[in-house]
Amino acid sequence: MKKYPGLSIIAIICGIMLASCGSSKKDSQAPVKYETQIMKPETRIYNEYIPASLHGINEVDVYPQVSGIIRQMLFTEGNKVEKGQPLFIIDQTEYQLKVDNAAANLLTAKAQMETTKLTYESTKNLAAKNIVSDYVLSASRNEYNAALAKVQQAQAQLAIAQTNLGYCTVKAPISGMIKENGFRKGELADITDLLCTVSDNSQIQAWFSYTESQLLDLVAQYGLVVTADGLKSKDGQMAGKILPKVQMQLKNGQIYRYEGEITEIGGIVDRKTGTVIARATFPNPDDELRSGLSATLIFPTKMNNIFSVRKTAAVHLQDRLLFYRVRKDGTAEGVVCEAIPSNSGNHYYVKSGLCAGDEVVVNGAQKLSSGARVR
């Protein structure tokens, strides 16, 4: 029988290759080592960040009460004005003429009244002597009363004219910072035109909105009840008195030096937005804050009996978060949980879905599926 040495070499090479493939396949099936964490209830402080717009504690829009040409502007925008300080002078010519005309009408009415009074007194004397009839006396008395009414009417018209003349000087309704609305000297201002806004910035209100979910969490956590005056505690205190203090982050990233207090929470949820309007009040002794600015409010929320889990444990399923806990038989079970990211972003705070003592996969969860063996 003829031998073929080359075939032996080929057989050896094939054997090595087969052994190599088998080894590779065995290595690919090596079990993955999963890292787990036992769930222990914790208490954490979680900061919620909510955008807000800033307003003075009292803001008044200033409208002219008479129409006319603006003749003078007696303030500088951004400066402080005092209550009663003149701001605008509207052309007084027309209104002064109306005062003069009303004053002349009053003089005429008084003269007519004096004449009818003399006639009435004379008629009374004649009637007492039976020289004139009661009809003549009554007619004279009526003329006198009508003249008195005309005097009163003329006095009212003069008072109205004088008031309108006074309205030509537009004054500050309160003390505060002033912001004009674009009007200039020589322009026509109508009674529907907003001339300026005066804002009392001694305290600043931050207006923001609570979502339905946030509102329900507040009610549950602090035992609040909804009343006609807003949220209160069960013993009648306003919500702001028992809720934690609030911080404010300004647009430049700085934290405002003074803490604020929630002073108002609406009791009605807006059906269109699903939110409740609320206000937090901050002191502003140094006039650092201005009405019209925007900021972010920082609300510290104490969270009890939650589980802090590493971010790597979460599997995102659209808008849901899935965590894998380990069954007693060592297999994985996917659990949809209610969780929020920590402020650092490194962990999730699980509010529901897991129980104390659960063992959760925190490394390698992305490779798992329910029923897969973990150990």
**CA-based radius of gyration for the chain:** 42
- Give the number of other CB atoms < 10 A from CB of residue 361: 24
Domains of the chain: 35-44+304-367 (2.40.420.20), 49-56+201-302 (2.40.30.170), 65-90+169-194 (2.40.50.100), 93-167 (1.10.287.470)
Cα–Cα distances (Å) from 253 to 72, 211, 292, 295, 301, in that order, read 41, 24, 17, 9, 21
pLDDT, tens digit only, all 375 positions of the chain: 444 444 444 444 444 344 444 444 444 444 567 899 999 999 888 888 999 999 999 999 999 999 999 999 999 988 999 999 999 999 999 999 999 999 999 999 999 999 999 999 999 999 999 998 999 999 999 999 999 999 999 999 999 999 999 999 999 999 999 998 888 999 999 999 999 999 999 999 999 998 888 888 778 777 887 777 667 777 777 777 788 899 999 999 999 999 999 988 877 788 888 888 899 999 999 889 988 899 999 998 888 889 999 999 999 988 889 999 999 999 999 999 999 898 888 999 998 999 999 999 999 898 889 999 988
Report the chain's terminal Cα–Cα distance, integer Å. Answer: 57
Q: Which tokens in the block code for residue 78?
A: 């951004």
276, 262 in Cβ contact below 8 A? Answer: no
